[in-house]
Structure 1
Amino acid sequence: MRIWGVLIPPGYLRWAAAGTGVVVLGTLIAVLVSAVGLFGESQEDVGTPTLATVVAGVSCDRVGAPETVAFTAAGKVHRAKFDGCGHAKGEPVDVTVPDGPLTEDLIVHAADAAVGDSRDGEGLGLLLIVVSGMAGAGYAFLLRRGPRTTRLPTALRLA
């Protein structure tokens, strides 16, 4: 076949078509994975950020001992355990209050604490899906082709 006046062997066209197909298929799979939400796109609501005041502080050398904070929600002052340490009594802290009924054994977390759900690596993950599909397809073509019948030149042989 001639393309722009250049004779292209049919084997090269098959490689180009197969490579294009793998890229398109990998892209479609990446879009499907992203649309379904398999990359941890959590719809879970972690709560409402609220300003609280430390009622009882705890030093950081006491492992697992929570501080006590007071905050206002729905017009009422509530007390809760705060999973932080090293704050002084009366110090304001930003906490995340979970949505729903506020119970007596409520535990609040720092508002700027990481919840473990991040979209930072999602694009890279989708790109790696496409690249791994291309690598797998290329390896399958190499296995299907089989070993070459000609030997390497003497200068390139290891043994």
Structure 2
Amino acid sequence: MRRRRGSASVASTLFVLGLLCAALAGAVVWPLVVAADRERAQLRPATATVVESRPCGVQAAGDLVEVEIGGEVRRVPFDGCGHSRGQKFPVLVPADATGNVVVRPATANGSPLDELAERAHWILLTLACVAGGGYGLMLGRR
């Protein structure tokens, strides 16, 4: 009976690949999670009412909305356009609302979750490449 050689090296290779994948996932996702938490701490939710609607275009300045900031209702520009007058929707207001304030939509396209999903796609692609390379190395030893 012949003993199979290399089974210990396959296990150690898979262990190292697993550690590499975990380290890669942590290194890519961790800074984004910290930045998203920091950004969310600087914004608070509010409800805005459109006072003046402005058309969308190259020179669009954004709609003018009324929103309660620090206990008083203020008219501030909104980072968006084309809403109808009197429309109400959720927005994010800076926690420290001094000076010129621009409110943002509560569900923006460039949200941290979208960035996290994009990073997850890159992580999965990298892990697939590493796993494929490791599998190729194991097949090449036979």
**Would you say same fold, with TM above 0.5?**
yes
1:20 alignment partner in structure 2: 11
Q: Indicate the structure (1 or 2) with the bigger Cα radius of gyration.
A: 1
**Aligned partner of 1:90: which letter?**
G
Secondary structure of the structure 2 residue equivalent to 1:28: helix
CA RMSD of the aligned region, Å?
A: 3.0
Alignment check: 8 A CA contact 1:22 1:133 kept: no
In structure 2, do the counterparts of structure 1 residues 45 and 138 end up closer, same or farther at CA, with 3 Å as the change threshold?
Answer: same
Q: Deviations over 1:40-82 (max 9, x none)?
A: 3333324222101112111224642211111112211222211
Matched, 1:32 2:23: yes
Q: How many residues align?
A: 134
Secondary structure of the structure 1 residue equivalent to 2:14: helix
Matched, 1:51 2:47: yes
Unaligned runs of 5+ in 2: none
Q: 2:56 aligns with which of 57, 60, 73?
A: 60
Q: Deviations over 1:66-106 (max 9, x none)?
A: 11111112211222211211222222121111222x13321
Q: Report the Cα distance in structure 1 between the residues aligned to 2:133 and 2:11, rounded to whole angstroms.
A: 14
Alignment check: 8 A CA contact 2:54 2:60 kept: no
So what's the TM-score if we normalise by structure 1?
0.65
In structure 2, do the counterparts of structure 1 residues 87 and 128 end up closer, same or farther at CA, with 3 Å as the change threshold?
Answer: closer
Q: Within 5 Å, which residues of 2 pair with 1:111-122? A: 111-118=106-113, 119-120=116-117
In structure 2, do the counterparts of structure 1 residues 139 and 30 end up closer, same or farther at CA, with 3 Å as the change threshold?
Answer: closer
So what's the TM-score if we normalise by structure 2?
0.71
